A and B are shown apart, each in its own frame.
Chain A
Amino acid sequence: MIYIYLIFAELLALTAQEYIPPLPHGARVLLLPLVFFYGALAVSPPAMLLLAFTGGFMWDALVATQVVDGSLEISLGWSIVLYAALGAVMSGFRPLFKRGHGWEIHCLLAGPLVCIFSLSEYLMITFRRGDFIFPKVIWWRIGSEGLAAMIAAPFVFLFLHWLALSFGFIRPREERMAAQH
């Protein structure tokens, strides 16, 4: 049940971030990766792959994939691979999440992982369009997005976690710890 809840949360995050105005240097507040990273901590690796697929597909279908003069700039599916790779990193910290250190991990890793995501997208379009250019504004944009993600991460985490606990999608930490022992 938690998968459906998280897929729906991804869809809402994708919609919500369309209405958040851009930050200086054209940086965006990316909510979809934050929801996905929470999912990567909260669910098993196969379920994480399912969330990577849905999140990456939504992002590609709505934002990233552009058909230019009859050819694809970035193929449908690249964001899915990126999400899966970043989700695998986040999944490595699941033991800490189970011990109750979820929001700290989510907050600390969200920034660098969002930066990697943005940089990867920029590298892909640079590879397709040619002219390997890296003006300062690109680095400011990528850095600002990482910083914005770190600031937004605890709120997204706590909200999703509170809802997941309220609806009984995940067990409280005490129960998880008791089950481990």
Chain B
Amino acid sequence: MRQINAIAVAIFLVVVLILFAFTPRNTQIMQARFLGVIAPLLKNGSSLQTQIIGFREGLKKLNELDAENKQLRVELDELKATDQTLQGLAAENNQLRRALQYRERSAFKLVPARIIARDAGSWWSTIKVDKGSNDGLQPDQPVLTEDGLVGKTTIVASNASTVLLISDENCGVAATVEGTRERGMVHGTRTSTATEPDLTLNFLSKLADLKPGQKVYSSGVGGVFPSGVLVGEVKDFVVEPLEGTASVIPAVDLSNIEDVFVVTGRSK
């Protein structure tokens, strides 16, 4: 081996060994910094992709857009009116709860975020969103849409974040099944991806006898995910030697979502 090659190999090994010695905390900091650097590229790529899709699908005519705009304005007014009513009901509900000395249950603080990239790896289910610590995000915050649970934040840079989807094997959600006292843990399988999600609900009683179509909600156990968020619905139920296991169809179409909400806390 030529001397220069030997020196290069030695330097390479030393640097790699230093990286191996990184603690999980330092690794996350390093990942967040790199994500922060690459985020502008991802955001530009995402907007370019949107433009290409828009070009392919063809631009809508002006009158179509005008009609759509009018329709959306009407819907917005309706939603504002509904929101006013709901705020009144929430205030009344909280007042009654206080009267009954229950803990005040208020709505979540939500940060809207746009997906700028989807998982590039073969064995992980993640997405990247355009909001980060500058917008109040932190690791391990729940991410959802109006349809249900999406996942949780893992790496948070100043201007972007990585979200681990519920279809990933590493993302466990403590859950309950509607109409039963059953509690279990929902997580993806090893072969699961965002496009072909495969969720299972484990640790159920063998006598659970769940029916297809029953809703699965987060139970709030564990502290990451709030209780009562729709995770999906039961596809089938199997009794195994030690426990009952259900397949779950996710409530959110993980391969087609474009916008999500990150729960950064509870509003006062």
Chain A residues with a Cβ under 8 A of chain B: 11-12, 14-19, 21-22, 25-28, 45-46, 49, 52-53, 57-58, 61-68, 70-73, 75-77, 80-81, 84, 118, 121-122, 125-126, 129, 131, 133, 135, 137-138, 141-142, 145
- CB-CB < 8 A to B196: which residues of A? 25-26
- A28 in contact with B16 (CB, 8 Å): no
The CA of A46 and the CA of B164, in the complex, are separated in Å by: 36
- B195 in contact with A67 (CB, 8 Å): no
Q: Say yes or no: is B67 at the interface (Cβ < 8 Å to chain A).
A: no
Enumerate B77-123 residues with CB–CB distance to A below 8 Å.
117-123
| CB of B125 to closest CB in A, whole Å | 9
From B17, B49, B122, B154, name the one whose CB has the most chain A CB atoms within 10 angstroms.
B122
Given known pairs A18-B118, A73-B170, the reply for A46 and B4 (CB within 8 Å) is: yes
- CB-CB < 8 A to A52: which residues of B? 12
- B124 in contact with A66 (CB, 8 Å): yes
| CB of A95 to closest CB in B, whole Å | 15
User: 16 new A-B pairs (CB below 8 Å) besides A15-B41, A61-B34?
Assistant: A11-B41, A15-B38, A22-B193, A45-B8, A46-B8, A53-B12, A66-B154, A66-B170, A71-B24, A72-B24, A121-B121, A129-B169, A129-B190, A133-B190, A137-B191, A138-B190
- B120 in contact with A63 (CB, 8 Å): yes
Q: Say yes or no: is B31 at the interface (Cβ < 8 Å to chain A).
A: yes
- A49 in contact with B38 (CB, 8 Å): no
- CB-CB < 8 A to A131: which residues of B? 190
Q: Say yes or no: is B204 at the interface (Cβ < 8 Å to chain A).
A: no
The CA of A122 and the CA of B120, in the complex, are separated in Å by: 15
Task: Sort A-B residue pairs by CB-CB distance and give the 5 closest, nearest first.
Answer: A46-B8, A77-B19, A26-B193, A18-B117, A61-B34
Q: Give 20 CB contacts A-B under 8 Å.
A: A11-B38, A15-B41, A15-B45, A18-B118, A19-B118, A21-B195, A22-B195, A26-B191, A28-B120, A46-B4, A46-B8, A53-B16, A58-B34, A62-B34, A76-B22, A77-B17, A77-B19, A77-B20, A77-B22, A129-B190
| CB of B220 to closest CB in A, whole Å | 18
- B122 in contact with A46 (CB, 8 Å): no
- CB-CB < 8 A to A25: which residues of B? 196
From A58, A67, A126, name the one whose CB has the most chain B CB atoms within 10 angstroms.
A67
The CA of A25 and the CA of B35, in the complex, are separated in Å by: 27
- A17 in contact with B120 (CB, 8 Å): yes
Interface string of B18-36 (1 = CB under 8 A from A): 0110101001101100110
Nearest-neighbor residue (CB-CB) of A128 within chain B: B170
| CB of A87 to closest CB in B, whole Å | 11
The CA of A131 and the CA of B191, in the complex, are separated in Å by: 13
The CA of A16 and the CA of B52, in the complex, are separated in Å by: 14
- A49 in contact with B123 (CB, 8 Å): no
The CA of A134 and the CA of B188, in the complex, are separated in Å by: 16
- B19 in contact with A61 (CB, 8 Å): no
The CA of A142 and the CA of B49, in the complex, are separated in Å by: 27
- A49 in contact with B24 (CB, 8 Å): no
Given known pairs A28-B122, A77-B20, A141-B122, the reply for A18 and B45 (CB within 8 Å) is: yes
| CB of B145 to closest CB in A, whole Å | 20
- CB-CB < 8 A to B22: which residues of A? 75-77
- B16 in contact with A81 (CB, 8 Å): yes
- CB-CB < 8 A to A57: which residues of B? 19, 34
The CA of A145 and the CA of B20, in the complex, are separated in Å by: 27
Contact of A65 among B8, B15, B16, B31 (CB under 8 A): B31
The CA of A62 and the CA of B119, in the complex, are separated in Å by: 10
Nearest-neighbor residue (CB-CB) of B121 within chain A: A63
Nearest-neighbor residue (CB-CB) of A26 within chain B: B193
Q: Say yes or no: is B229 at the interface (Cβ < 8 Å to chain A).
A: no
- A138 in contact with B12 (CB, 8 Å): no
Contact of A49 among B8, B28, B46, B170 (CB under 8 A): B8
- CB-CB < 8 A to A84: which residues of B? 12
- CB-CB < 8 A to A126: which residues of B? 190
Q: Say yes or no: is B252 at the interface (Cβ < 8 Å to chain A).
A: no
Q: Say yes or no: is B9 at the interface (Cβ < 8 Å to chain A).
A: yes
